[in-house]
Amino acid sequence: MGNVLEGKVAIITGAGSGLGLGIARAFAKEGATISTIGRRYEKVAAMAEEVKGMGGKALAVKGDVGERVDVQALVDATVKAFGTVDILVNNAMAYDIRKLEEITDADIDKIMRSALYGSIYCMQACFPYLKKHGGKIINFGSMAGLYGLKAHAHYSAAKEGIIGLTRTAALEWAQYGIQVNAIAPLATSDASENFRKTDPEAYVDFLKQIPLGYMGDPERHVGRVCVFLASPDSDWITARTLFVDGGQAAIR
């Protein structure tokens, strides 16, 4: 374990699997205390136990980031247990694939509440603590938001909204020493694994669209970039979106 994030308290939403779990592992190895929220408590609880097994501190709360009351309960529990919040990683969101003409109000609500609303709720709830001593916020955009992706209209809209949110928050909160950045990642997840299993030929074709030729690893490739953005090394970077995607965005 390292010490780049030693003594820092990080809220990482949706850290029970995929990107969130990889980020939590990377943070824990750098000494951060981890707090998370998830609708499937057994997943986030397992992450917390893993971090504790590494000699770290962790807290898991059952809840939905799309519900403001759940988010406030998470932040309150985090502050009660660890004293403050230094870092926020807005990773959690629902995922859905649907043609534009088929999208319902319920589909839009599910994506927007978990992604855009959830990010706003978490940022607002953490702000009183970040305002006191500065801090880091890492949001998650997507290539789908910037370039578009078939069957992802509501997802793309939410992700592009998060990029706008990131830039605005970075400008408003710079005076408090808060840096706000976003990552547009491409890494192995539950969704990508399901894609690989259900349509292996299409998955192979998809990999060919990545200049580096393979899917990123949640901890090694995305988690380590998040460590950088959460550390003092990134103090002079804010309002930016980093594409951590093996070069895929460059060929769009």
Name the packing angle between helices 41-53 and 18-29 (round to 10°). Answer: 20
pLDDT at position 196 is: 84
Locate the DSSP E strands across the chain. Answer: 9-12, 33-38, 58-62, 87-89, 135-140, 178-185, 241-244
Strand order in the sheet with 135-140: 58-62, 33-38, 9-12, 87-89, 135-140, 178-185, 241-244
The better pLDDT of the pair 251, 123 is held by: 123
pLDDT at position 1 is: 57
pTM of the predicted model as reported, rounded to 2 decimal places = 0.95
Confirm if 181 and 229 have CB atoms less than 8 A apart.
Answer: yes
Among the options 155, 176, 203, 214, which is catalytic? 155
155 given a catalytic annotation:
yes
Instruction: Tell me the average pLDDT of the chain.
Output: 94
pLDDT digits (tens, 9 = 90+) for 42-87: 999 999 999 999 999 999 999 999 999 999 999 999 999 999 999 9
Helix (H, G, I), strand (E, B) or coil at 59: strand
pLDDT digits (tens, 9 = 90+) for 2-21: 799 999 999 999 999 999 99
Q: What are the residues whose beta carbons fall under 8 Å from the beta carbon of 182, sequence distance 6 or more? A: 138, 139, 140, 141, 162, 163, 166, 240, 241, 242
> What domains can you pick out in the chain, each with its CATH number?
9-251 (3.40.50.720)
pLDDT at position 152 is: 84
pLDDT digits (tens, 9 = 90+) for 82-108: 999 999 999 998 888 889 999 999 999
pLDDT digits (tens, 9 = 90+) for 166-206: 999 999 999 999 999 999 999 998 777 876 887 788 788 88
